[in-house]
Structure 1
Amino acid sequence: MELADYRREYLQGGLRRKDLPDEPLALFESWMQQAITAGLADPTAMVVATVDERGQPYQRIVLLKHLDGQGFVFYTNMGSRKAGHLAANPRISLLFPWHPLERQVHVTGRVEKLSTVEVMKYFSSRPKDSQIGAWVSNQSSRISARGLLEAKFLEMKQKFASGEVPLPSFWGGFRVRFDSVEFWQGGANRLHDRFLYQRSDHGWAIDRLAP
């Protein structure tokens, strides 16, 4: 089959202006809960886009770990490529691709580093093996073989076998202070519904976008 011939209709529902709340978080939380209830694999997975010093965009999938009026929160190795990009340019884009529900949510904003207290609170809630995994990987660096990671994991697991795993100094997180949130709902005949929330001095401006 030619890729150009692969298509399907989007018929699960629509999105109307009269049904939108005044601010985007309420709708996002509703859609997130529906994604969880529908049993989507990794409903908290989001594509994170950053830009390097040459203007080259990069994308990767990370997991959303917290959300409130202050922003979207995720955690990472602070020596990673994405952390380096964000240190130089705090602008960021997030995308939640909820394909089985024929939905996408696109977020733009700026990041700020989380406090050590916030990072420690989350780190201590992780399974112990995940805590150890944070110590093992020098994220984004080149390695010659997977065996090196596995050997380092076993070494660190033995080191921390009898006690708590301390927070690595190089591990942290970011809060995305969002400026815009766009909701996309698939529609029949490619007449998709798109609504863009943009922060303004008087709250949130809402615009319908052409599909």
Structure 2
Amino acid sequence: MKKILIIACVCIGFFVSGVSVYSYMNEKNRYASVTVVPEKRDDLPLYKGLEFQEHNYLIKGNHWYDVYGFYKKQMPLHGWKLVHKQAFIEDWGGFMMTWEKEGKELHIGGGWIPNENTTEVRFDLRPIMRSTNWIEAIPSSICVYTNKEADTCSTITDRNKIEQFVKWVNDEAIDKEDASLQKDYGIVEMNGKKIEIHYDPELPSFTLKSADGRKQLKPEPLLELLGLTELQTK
């Protein structure tokens, strides 16, 4: 009899553990499609009645303007700084808001869906991405060194190529001080400024380094434009 009780207790223990693990995984997978869960944060209140459904939060009825007013009032009380807000009164109504706090950017947007008589609200939290200007004036030419030991450079005077390079550096490369550096790299010199071009074929981006810091640039045809394709073989 004692042995049977022990076995029963063990079985119950396994069952309870299994249910707990299953519940945990269900809860984890439930929010896998979103970047932030208001219910799990102390600084992001959830408008009463909103319920999570797959990707967004929904509430029956047309409540978009009340939701908009709620977050305009509540977010500053939780330490968030308003960066942008916009409401669309026309048609069915909706809003967009952007808030910043501790290096993060929170987007809140929503609106009424008339054919379903439902108000939908979306939350998206991401690191703040900034891109500072490194090149103030477009030069008439740029000098490209194929590696850090090179004594001579090839000169690019094509206006379209130079403007494209400046656009990538100023507007599309994102400030990132911990971007990885490589042993071999090319150098672009212009207006008295030197910009190192670091490339690793196993990484999904370039690293640009100058006296202004470091930037990360997505895989654009940068090496082809500058004539630095030999970095691809190193």
Range of TM-score over shorter length: under 0.3
Q: Compare relative contact order (CA 8 Å, sep 6+) and give the higher one, 1 or 2.
A: 1
TM-score w.r.t. structure 2 length?
0.23
**Higher Rg of the two aligned structures:** 2
